[in-house]
């Protein structure tokens, strides 16, 4: 059982003068969820997080935590806690006093607040460094102090703004695992802002992909990866080819569509797919077959532009008529059974089941 509360955003909008930073965003984050707000720079994810925390006023709409509308409450009275990107530790205080600071502000007496701070430091495995100052800790350790300091207020949700961005790649993965473990242990929601799709996929129960102040898709990592709602999501998550074409034929269970270069493909039928309708599709780069392994019928031939060796996989970039960029991921074994070179012309194919039809973007 989770002790946290559901968080709900109801048509939340933020304007800075004439600029619309967040545009009528509605989202429900069930209690006990690891949620990542994911998107490119400027998409409104930090502003959304800050509005949940109460560090930014809400122009229109409401934020609810459990049964309480917290829209007009100050940060300390919302039941949320925020961990800042910079960690914002006090350099002149030792680690215990840094963690205990918010309890001091509430007037809690010294022995009791230091005891609670030590408990929090144990939780993040830093109790052995309690007497040190922030400057005497590594980046990863400072980050754990910041975590302990946010958690000491016993929040119903923890808000994290790019918590891993200052760490080196090795530490990033280690701390990421610790964050996930801590969230499961505490049972409260963590809402984590990141521009890294890899980070969001690794951590989340719920990935919220934002673009231009709006939500493009909010779903599990698997759903977002396998069934990206829009071309933006497919491109942002990566490992997908996005093709634009036009429907040429509609049967009961399948449609045929054509890309500008003349190649035509079949895909599962769907609503709104009338003859002549423009359509955008996504095909995972690891579902495409090349060369002798490619089935007949697609009629697309690609010219190899670039080959990158990635260890387990080899990434082949191709150009084809009517298709600007096309990327295929081949297993190392398959690639070296029939190696390709830059300049080779090679048949490309995939099955209709691997074609995913995309919707129009809400921010388009
Ligand atoms: N205080 C402000 N005044 C005016 N515009 C702002 C302010 N803060 C943010 N914005 C604008 O609002 C939009 C959303 O900003 P926000 O910081 O939420 O984006 P973000 O997705 O978190 O980006 P990043 O990854 O770069 O932090 C941007 O266009 C930004 O320029």
Nearest to 54 by CA among 37, 72, 68: 72
Does ligand 1 have an atom closer than 6 angstroms to the CB of 47? Answer: yes
Query: Is 50 exceeded by the pLDDT of residue 2?
Result: no
Ligand 1 centre to CA of 20 (Å) is: 10
Nearest CA to ligand 1 atom 8: 47
ipTM value, please give it: 0.94
3-19 mean pLDDT: 93
Q: Where are the beta strands (DSSP E) in the chain?
A: 7-16, 19-29, 34-38, 60-65, 68-69, 80-83, 157-161, 189-194, 206-211, 214-219, 240-250, 254-258, 264-268, 278-284, 289-290, 300-309, 313-320, 323-331, 345-349, 356-357
Cβ(197) to ligand 1 under 6 A?
Answer: no
The pLDDT mean for the chain works out to 90
| Residue among 12, 18, 20, 43 to mutate when testing ligand 1 (max atoms within 8 A of CB) | 43
Going from the Cα of 302 to the center of ligand 1, the distance in angstroms, rounded, reads 40
Question: Ligand 1 center to residue 214 CA distance, Å?
Answer: 13
For the beta sheet containing 289-290, the strands, ordered from the edge strand earlier in sequence to the opposite edge, are 289-290, 345-349, 300-309, 313-320, 323-331
> Can you tell me the distance from the alpha carbon of 78 to that of 196, in angstroms, rounded to the nearest whole number?
28
* Nearest residue by C-alpha to atom 18 in ligand 1: 44
Reported as a single tens digit per residue, the pLDDT across 240-253 is 999 988 999 888 88
* Ligand 1 centroid, distance to 213 Cα (angstroms): 9
How many angstroms does the Cα of residue 44 sit away from the middle of ligand 1?
6
Confidence of residue 292 (pLDDT cuts 50, 70, 90): low
At 241, give phi and psi (nearest 5°). Answer: -100, 135
Q: What is the pLDDT of residue 346?
A: 92
pTM of the model: 0.91
């Amino acid at each position: 059982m989770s002790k946290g509360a559901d968080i709900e955003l109801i048509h939340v909008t933020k304007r800075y003068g004439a600029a619309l930073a967040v545009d009528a965003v509605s989202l429900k984050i069930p209690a006990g969820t690891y949620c990542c707000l994911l998107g490119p720079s400027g998409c409104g994810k930090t502003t959304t997080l800050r509005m949940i925390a109460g560090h930014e006023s809400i122009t229109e709409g409401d934020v609810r935590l459990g049964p309480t509308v917290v829209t007009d409450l100050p940060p300390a009275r919302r039941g949320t806690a925020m961990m800042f990107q910079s960690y914002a530790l006090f350099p002149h205080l030792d680690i215990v006093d840094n963690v205990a600071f918010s309890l001091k502000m509430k007037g809690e007496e010294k022995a009791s607040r230091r005891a609670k701070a030590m408990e929090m430091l144990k939780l993040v495995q830093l109790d052995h460094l309690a007497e040190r100052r922030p400057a005497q800790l590594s980046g990863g350790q400072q980050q754990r102090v910041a975590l302990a300091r946010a958690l000491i207020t016993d929040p119903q949700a923890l808000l994290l703004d790019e918590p891993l961005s200052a760490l080196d790649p090795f530490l990033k993965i280690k701390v990421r695992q610790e964050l996930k473990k801590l969230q499961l242990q505490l049972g409260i929601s963590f809402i984590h802002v990141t521009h890294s799709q890899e980070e969001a996929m690794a951590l989340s129960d719920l990935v919220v992909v934002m673009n231009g102040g709006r939500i493009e898709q909010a779903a599990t990592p698997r759903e977002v990866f396998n069934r990206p709602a829009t071309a933006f999501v497919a491109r942002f998550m990566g490992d997908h080819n996005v093709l634009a074409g036009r429907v040429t034929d509609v049967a009961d269970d399948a449609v045929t569509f054509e890309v500008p270069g003349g190649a035509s493909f079949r895909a599962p039928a769907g609503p709104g797919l009338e003859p002549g309708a423009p359509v955008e599709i996504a095909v995972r780069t690891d579902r495409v077959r090349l060369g002798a392994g490619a089935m007949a019928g697609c009629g697309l031939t690609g010219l190899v532009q670039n080959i990158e060796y990635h260890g387990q996989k080899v990434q082949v970039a191709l150009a084809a008529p009517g298709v600007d960029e096309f990327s295929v991921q081949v297993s190392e074994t398959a690639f070296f059974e029939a190696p390709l070179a830059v300049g080779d012309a090679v048949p490309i194919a995939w099955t209709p089941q691997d074609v995913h039809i995309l919707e129009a973007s809400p921010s388009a």
